[in-house]
């Protein structure tokens, strides 16, 4: 009984991840929104320019927030061999080196140096969506499963 329940939960998790790109939110500058707070008061908008991720901070109304005491770290790779990426504050945004297509980037945002971090994950999937043709990491369409006949 427990095995059946675990298999069902695992199947649901895999199925929901197949359609996860339908939950992507796009920001005012056309970038991907990541949640940097537990109560949706701080967001990060990720865009790509000049071979870097640029992460702008946005408030709950999607208005720009100045970088002051906030901190951002970025890591890629699997848990057994994580690789820290260099994060710099430039022109009011955090700049992070672009990763290879298909890699996951783990961002940890702190509103202040001693604050507890909020983790956000980004799968940098550059393959074009079959429906809207945008890169999957920026795709907001949601493909519905084909109806049974």
Q: pLDDT exceeding 70 applies to what percent of the chain?
A: 80
Residue 149 lies in a domain: no
Domain encompassing residue 53: 2-138
Rounded-to-integer distance, Cα 71 and Cα 118, Å: 11
pLDDT tens column, 16-45: 333 444 478 999 999 999 999 999 999 999
Question: What pLDDT was estimated at residue 23?
Answer: 77
Element (H, E) at 6: helix 2-18
- In this prediction the pTM is 0.79
Confidence of residue 79 (pLDDT cuts 50, 70, 90): confident
Calculate ∠ Cα 29-76-143, nearest 5°. 55
Joined tokens for residue 7: 């298999």
Rounded-to-integer distance, Cα 67 and Cα 89, Å: 8
pLDDT tens column, 85-108: 999 999 999 999 999 999 999 999
Residue 146 lies in a domain: no
Q: Quick one: which of 49, 38, 20, 48 has its CA closest to 139?
A: 20
Residue 145 lies in a domain: no
Residue-level length of the chain = 149
Residue 65 lies in a domain: yes
Mean pLDDT of 45-71: 97
Residue 100 lies in a domain: yes
- Residue 72: how many CB atoms within 10 A of its CB? 22
DSSP 65-120: ---SS-EEEEEES-TTS-EEEP-EEETTEEEEEPPPTT-EEEEEEESSTTSPPEEE
Residue 120 lies in a domain: yes
CATH code, domain carrying 81 = 2.60.40
Residue 75 lies in a domain: yes
Q: Quick one: which of 16, 13, 25 has its CA closest to 141?
A: 25
Q: What is the number of domains present in the chain?
A: 1
Residue 148 lies in a domain: no
Residue 143 pLDDT greater than 70, yes or no: no
Q: Are 51 and 98 in contact (CB under 8 A)?
A: yes
């Amino acid at each position: 009984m427990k095995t059946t329940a675990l298999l069902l939960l695992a199947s649901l998790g895999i199925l929901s991840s197949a359609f996860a790109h339908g939950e992507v939110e796009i920001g005012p500058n056309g970038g991907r929104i990541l949640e940097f707070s537990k109560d949706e008061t701080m967001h990060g908008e990720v865009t790509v320019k000049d071979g870097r991720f640029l992460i702008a901070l946005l408030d709950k109304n999607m208005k720009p927030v100045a970088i002051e005491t906030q901190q951002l770290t970025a890591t890629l790779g699997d848990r057994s061999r994580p690789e820290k990426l260099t994060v710099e504050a430039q022109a009011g945004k955090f700049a992070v080196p672009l990763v290879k297509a298909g890699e996951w980037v783990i961002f940890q945002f702190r509103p202040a140096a001693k604050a507890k971090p909020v983790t956000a994950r980004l799968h940098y999937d550059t393959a074009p969506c079959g429906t809207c043709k945008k890169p999957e990491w920026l795709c907001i369409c949601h493909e519905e499963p084909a109806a049974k006949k």
